[in-house]
Chain A
């Protein structure tokens, strides 16, 4: 079986991630912040150590990390708490539905407005961009680090720094690319980052979070048990506890710390391998006359989106699956990106790599694409 759907979930996890998970469930097994006995204290210590590790990975000096179950929850926590009536938000045309839908829901309640940047304007200078898209109500620039559909890198340090100079807060959805592109929040002009563990950071499903330059001072998304101030009838204004109500997925959080260490240590090696894989795929497909590669000339993470003329993306997915190759078709929860690319009706075939994929695997995919194209397109 060949797995090319790493942008959805990395299937291969580093051994140290599996070991950390097993260690936690076998040797610790209790929840942090819920008991003042030795084992409970150790669980709380491990949670703090992971917070520190994740904060450092994203370039923070303070452990300002709230853990959630995924980036979608982190994004909802942030938008719901940060945005106020009358606010205006600027987003890219590549945003995942995890960003679009919370904003759209707030817009439909007449609470906020948002503007979607046109794709050609992603190349504007920071000042030109700000002049065109920011208005007196703009409080937030929210952009994905990379497109989950085409792999295109959308984040721009310059754009963020200019936004901040105009008094606009900056938010990066790092669900795609966090394990491949190093962000330095303090130096890159980023106020908030949402991340998820199970994609290219190589952690387990069920852990994500929200990093912030300063401790959050917004309304929590959910209310409930925090392990502290149990006598109060709403969540206490204690950071980060107020934002982590309920039992946390501590086995996955502890394993995530090891995943972050792996991603940091192996960054250059993985980047080198994945660049070669991406170039090999694009070289193999770009001259096939009935194949369209999207955002071919953009800087990208190790994700490529394409279509085969005469086929829907899901037909291609089915054919490849019969040959034991896992890729994803359809909408990818990214309607804005499909509207941008003009692929709402066909979807897009997405191939996304990890460092364990090989050139030979890609050759198998290319050979199949050439075969099916010959049958229907020529």
Chain B
């Protein structure tokens, strides 16, 4: 699952928050083709992480999909 952001700064803020919570994540190129998102995003295994990112504006892209779901 990919967590996509509008701001690059928020990608790394999310990475910092997830790292502090010892949740594995990777910063990877954004798979979505929508131009609204910045070029990199966070890849995680599942959505249990999302509470940690409450303060951020993001959307989700599931593996193999190009559609985005509002968080």
Contacts and interface: CB of A to CB of B under 8 A. Distances in A.
A37 B30 CA distance: 11
A228 B7 contact: yes
Contacts of A228: 6-8, 38-39
Interface in B6-58: 6-9, 11-13, 15-16, 27-30, 35-36, 38-40
Contact of A238 (B6, B12, B28): B6
A62 to B, nearest CB: 9
Contacts of B9: 48, 51, 63, 239-241
Contact of A241 (B8, B13, B27, B36): B8
Contacts of A101: none
Contacts of B29: 36-37
A44 interface: yes
Interface residues of B, number: 18
Nearest to B30: A36
Interface string A30-66: 0011011100010011011101100000000001000
Among A52, A236, A238, find the residue whose CB has the most chain B CB atoms closer than 10 A. Answer: A238
A231 B15 CA distance: 26
Given A45-B27, A63-B13, A231 B8 contact: no
A231 B35 contact: yes
Nearest to B12: A48
Contacts of A229: 6, 35-36
A33 B35 contact: no
Give chain A's interface residue range (CB within 8 Å of chain B). 20 to 34
A129 B41 CA distance: 49
Nearest to A237: B6
Nearest to B11: A44
A51 B12 CA distance: 11
A35 B15 contact: no
A52 B8 contact: no
Contacts of B36: 229
Contacts of A49: 12
B65 to A, nearest CB: 19
B35 A32 contact: no
Among B6, B7, B11, find the residue whose CB has the most chain A CB atoms closer than 10 A. Answer: B7
Given A48-B16, A63-B13, A229-B35, A41 B7 contact: no
A41 B13 contact: no
Contacts of A231: 35
Contact of A36 (B7, B15, B35, B40): B40
B40 A41 contact: yes
A227 interface: yes
Contacts of A47: 12
Contacts of A119: none
Contact of B35 (A52, A230, A240): A230
Contacts of B8: 32-33, 44, 48, 227-228, 241
A41 B39 CA distance: 10
B16 A227 contact: no
| Top-7 shortest CB links A-B | A48-B12, A36-B29, A36-B39, A228-B38, A231-B35, A238-B7, A33-B8
Interface of B: 6-9, 11-13, 15-16, 27-30, 35-36, 38-40
Given A45-B12, A52-B16, A239-B7, 11 more contacts: A32-B8, A36-B29, A36-B30, A48-B8, A48-B9, A48-B12, A63-B9, A227-B8, A228-B6, A241-B9, A241-B38
